[in-house]
Structure 1
Amino acid sequence: MRISTQMIYQSSNNDLTSMQSQFLKLSQQVTAQQRVLLPSDDPVAAARALDMQQTADLNEQYKTNRQNANSALSSVQGNLESMTNMLTKLKSNVITAGNASYSNAERINMASEIKGNLAEVLGYANAQDGQGNYLFAGFKSTTQPFTLDGTGGVVYNGDQGAMSLQVDSTRVMDISASGQAIFQGNGQDIFKTMNNFINVLSVPVTEAANKADETAANNFVYPAGSGLTPIAAYKTSLAQLNALSPTDPTYQAVFTATAALKLQSDAADAARTPVVGSQAALTRNLASFNTQIDSLLSNVTTAKASIGARQNELDNLDAAGEVNKENYTQTINNLLGRNPSDVNQLISDYTLTQTYLSAAQKVFVTTSGLSLLNYLK
């Protein structure tokens, strides 16, 4: 078979073109640091890598959602912490105001201070996040949840829902709270309690009211229609007991009778309404406020515990998300050939192909220069 010069050129050209194409491909792979550049390089691996990348992108979106959720919950938690401090202060004011040595002027000054505290609490209840959404309005995040009704009262304009975000593939988390459950829940209303507290502190305690209350207490009949005045009877028995020596043979009998009358006197005192302006009326009201504040503190504490649990859950989901991210990245690297071992192999192939190409080019140059004329003399 005769091989023409044209065939030699054509064959050499085809080989060089193929090697140059292979060299260029390897050059692109080395530059990109990965083996699979186009779906045609490995259709199955490219398809699986695409699915895995979409999963990884969702994982990143969930991470962003968790950051937003944590930011919103931190804002709620911060306001609830301020509310806890305020309620603790109010509880301290209740105890201080109940001191009999506290003057009317001091209680009036305290009332003025609590008026400012009331405006502060209203601010906590109407707190907004960084985007201007109200934290305690439920689903109505663009509606101011608490407003004055014109009579000194406060009305709730939100709902009982809670804004939420999907923070993982199977977890949707509430990131806001219903303000009514916190500020007006369990039959308690922080705004009404504070207003009533202000009103009670504004009423001066007078000696005349104290005397009138003592007389009313001694004359109070309990149970109604019984004709019994347990408070006066207890005071008489107590005076008799105090006059006796513990060694007196009648002391034990009088002590037992006095103890029984004390129980009846306490029941009668609880059933009656003290005279307005008396120390007894102030004490009774302050005790009620103390109970109400405890209930409000319980509302806030419950909400804080719930938010704290959600923040802990977000931390756990973040940790799991980071593990998933590493796994997704490793899987994609394996599929697309991005691992160090893959890149090292590409570099080796690139160097070897470059050597082959250089040798082939030299052979082609040498071969193309051959001619019988060079051997004719």
Structure 2
Amino acid sequence: MRISTVTMFEQSMTSMNRQQGDFLKVSQQIASGRRVVNPSDDPQAASRAVGVSQAKAATQQYADARVSARNTLSQAESVLNSVSDAVTSAKTLMIQAASDTLSDVDRQSVASELRGIYETLIGQGNATDGNGRYLFGGYNDDAPPFARTGGDGVAGVQYNGDDNVRAQRIDASRLMPVADNGQTIFQSVPSGAGYVARAERESAAGDISLGTQEGYLRNEGSVTFSGPSRVDPDNAAFGESFTLRFEEDGGEMRVRVADPNNPGDLYDEVYTSGETISFGGISITLRGEPEEDDQIQLRPANAEGANQDLFKSLKDAIDVLELDQQGQPENRAHFRNTLSSVMRELDNSLDNVLTVRASMGARLNELDVVDAVGGNRMMNYERTLSDLVDLDYNEAISEYSLRQVGLQAAQKAFVDVKGLSLFNYM
């Protein structure tokens, strides 16, 4: 069979191009460090690598989200630490103000210090994170959640945020709350809080100086109370709200408490100063001289009508600390009753703040756990991706040497073939 010179040249060029292509492919793999440089190198591995890369990118996004969540929670937890310190300081000042050795001027000085704590708490309630968003406004985080309202003496505070909890997805299956709303922190009490008593009174202007959310309660006498205390949680009426009334009957002052579940009175006895009375699973100690139709409201601390507002509690305390008590037993009784109520409300508020703060600490711990799991998952993805597309350098270098020899052999063969000619023998 005759083989033409053109055919020999074409086959030699084809062999050299193939060897050079294989050699360049191995060179490219070594330069990039990847076995699969193009999808055509290994279609199945390339396809799986795309899926793993997407999962790895999503895991990295969740890791970034956890960094943001940790920053927000850390800032909020730091603010709540300051809030708990402020409430503790307020309780210390109120214990100091309750001393009978203090004059009206001394109590006004304490009220001035308490006002500073009040302003501090408003500032803490309007704290922002590193991005300028308000921490405790829920999803209404573009404006201060707590705004001052009009009023005599110390201005009141109104919550303008929403009741939602801002959340962030920190993992595929976990949506974590990262900032509790201000209503939950500053205007709520823990579910296990007990009873709180309130004895409101009418001011000289005719309004309610420490107004209740459920209407007018008259208290113009000098009765003070201690408690209430829990004595029988299994009582059928325990957990209800009660109104304790003083009514004169036949020349005697009686204490009456209506039964919230049945017609008639749950308690109806002659009043004796210093006596502890019990009804509905709770007890309260009364002292002093009441007036006809004076009332004391007793509610569970988490009842709808009870005061759960930390700012209102402090405002009430400041208002009564500034009252003139010299020679006015009614004001003195009003001061005692208000301090007793506010101290309980501050205890409940502090417990609530500490509960929320503990929840934030638990979430910070959870972030550490999820971070560890996410780190392990990222390592697994990287290992899988490496197995799919990364290069085995030992094998690649051997292949490189082999392809280099093959290319050199093809080049040498072409040189030899090119030299074959009959003219050399003529």
User: Which TM-score applies when normalising by structure 1?
Assistant: 0.76
**Residue in structure 1 matching 2:156, options 153, 156, 171:** 153
Residue matched to 2:311:
191
**Residue in structure 2 matching 1:334, options 352, 367, 387:** 387
Residue matched to 2:15:
15
Which is helix-richer, 1 or 2? 1
State how far apart, in whole Å, the 1-side matches of 2:320 and 2:401 are. Answer: 92
State how far apart, in whole Å, the 2-side matches of 1:342 and 1:57 are. Answer: 25
Among all aligned residue pairs of Structure 1 and Structure 2, give the percentage whose two residues are the same amino acid.
40
Residue matched to 1:296:
349
Query: Is 2:413 the partner of 1:363?
Result: yes
* Cα deviation code 1:19-39 (max 9, x no counterpart): 111111111111110111111
Deviation of residue 120 (structure 1)?
A: 1.2
Gaps of 5+ in 1: 207-273
The answer as to whether partners of 2:323 and 2:331 remain within 8 angstroms in 1 is: no
The answer as to whether partners of 1:19 and 1:353 remain within 8 angstroms in 2 is: yes
Residues 135-284 of structure 1: pairs in structure 2 closer than 5 A: 135-151=135-151, 152-186=155-189, 187-206=307-326, 275-276=328-329, 282-284=335-337
Residue matched to 1:319:
372
Residue matched to 1:44:
44
Mark the CA change 1:343 to 1:275 in structure 2 (over 3 Å): closer, same or farther: farther
State how far apart, in whole Å, the 1-side matches of 2:64 and 2:335 are. Answer: 54
Residue matched to 1:348:
398
The answer as to whether partners of 1:145 and 1:158 remain within 8 angstroms in 2 is: yes
Residue matched to 1:78:
78
Residue matched to 2:295:
none
State how far apart, in whole Å, the 1-side matches of 2:315 and 2:7 are. Answer: 106
Residue matched to 2:225:
none
* Cα deviation code 1:186-216 (max 9, x no counterpart): 332111111121122223443xxxxxxxxxx
State how far apart, in whole Å, the 2-side matches of 1:48 and 1:303 are. Answer: 45
Deviation of residue 367 (structure 1)?
A: 2.8
Gaps of 5+ in 2: 190-306
Residue matched to 1:93:
93
Larger Rg: 1
Q: CA RMSD for the aligned pairs?
A: 2.0
* Cα deviation code 1:205-248 (max 9, x no counterpart): 43xxxxxxxxxxxxxxxxxxxxxxxxxxxxxxxxxxxxxxxxxx
Mark the CA change 1:276 to 1:3 in structure 2 (over 3 Å): closer, same or farther: farther
Q: How many residues align?
A: 306
State how far apart, in whole Å, the 2-side matches of 1:116 and 1:351 are. Answer: 81
> Which deviates more from structure 2 when the two are superposed, residues 20-29 or residues 129-138?
129-138
The answer as to whether partners of 2:125 and 2:145 remain within 8 angstroms in 1 is: yes
SS at match of 1:333: helix
Residue matched to 1:310:
363
State how far apart, in whole Å, the 1-side matches of 2:329 and 2:323 are. Answer: 8
> Which residue identity lines up with residue 167 of structure 1 in the other structure?
I
Residue matched to 1:287:
340
Mark the CA change 1:374 to 1:276 in structure 2 (over 3 Å): closer, same or farther: farther
User: Which TM-score applies when normalising by structure 2?
Assistant: 0.68
The answer as to whether partners of 2:90 and 2:117 remain within 8 angstroms in 1 is: no
State how far apart, in whole Å, the 1-side matches of 2:43 and 2:412 are. Answer: 37
Deviation of residue 44 (structure 1)?
A: 1.3
The answer as to whether partners of 2:80 and 2:353 remain within 8 angstroms in 1 is: yes
Deviation of residue 357 (structure 1)?
A: 0.9
* Cα deviation code 1:130-180 (max 9, x no counterpart): 222221112222232111121221111112111111111111111121211
> Which residue identity lines up with residue 365 of structure 1 in the other structure?
V
> Which residue identity lines up with residue 154 of structure 1 in the other structure?
V
> Which residue identity lines up with residue 89 of structure 2 in the other structure?
K
Residue matched to 1:26:
26
SS at match of 1:301: helix
Which is strand-richer, 1 or 2? 2
> Which deviates more from structure 2 when the two are superposed, residues 59-68 or residues 177-186?
177-186
Deviation of residue 282 (structure 1)?
A: 4.2
Residue matched to 2:69:
69
Residue matched to 1:258:
none
